[in-house]
Amino acid sequence: MTTIPVISVVDDDASIRTAIYNLLRSLGYIVHVYPSAEAFLQSPQLHNTWCVIADVRMPGMSGIELQLRLRSEGSRMPFVFVTAVPEEGVRASALEGGAICFLTKPFDEDCLVACLGKALALYIGGAHG
């Protein structure tokens, strides 16, 4: 396993994927981007990912459904959610499911980086699986 954190970004908005990709690559992370939850689930990076940054609302499987599926399979992979439509019930579900952060688009880059730091501390601390 690499010692450089591997981050997977799952968002149906190409501009968001590109922006997060560029930000995280500039910080030295290995970043993979996916246009859907289904694409991520079929990816060879699924079990190498240290943290998922996912949109809440996407065609097909939502980010919340992705988190629930991985949790049901025993994964403790940290999630950071981003959304353009903040709904308190969805936010509560995400956080109950173990999400580290729930950010509203447009989000502050520093907030995303801070959330990612928390998520990676959990991963490195042994909460992954």
pLDDT higher at 85 or 49 = 49
Cβ contacts of residue 38 below 8 Å, gap of 6+? 60, 61
Domains of the chain: 6-124 (3.40.50.2300)
pLDDT for 76-119, tens place per residue?
899 999 999 888 999 998 999 889 999 999 999 999 999 999 99
Alpha helices per DSSP H over 1-129: 14-26, 37-41, 63-72, 88-96, 109-122
pLDDT for 93-103, tens place per residue?
899 988 999 99
Both structure tokens of 102: 């729930």
Neighbouring-strand partners of residue 33: 9
What pLDDT is attached to residue 1? Answer: 52
Q: What is the pTM of this model?
A: 0.94
Helices (H) and strands (E) in the chain, counts: 5, 5
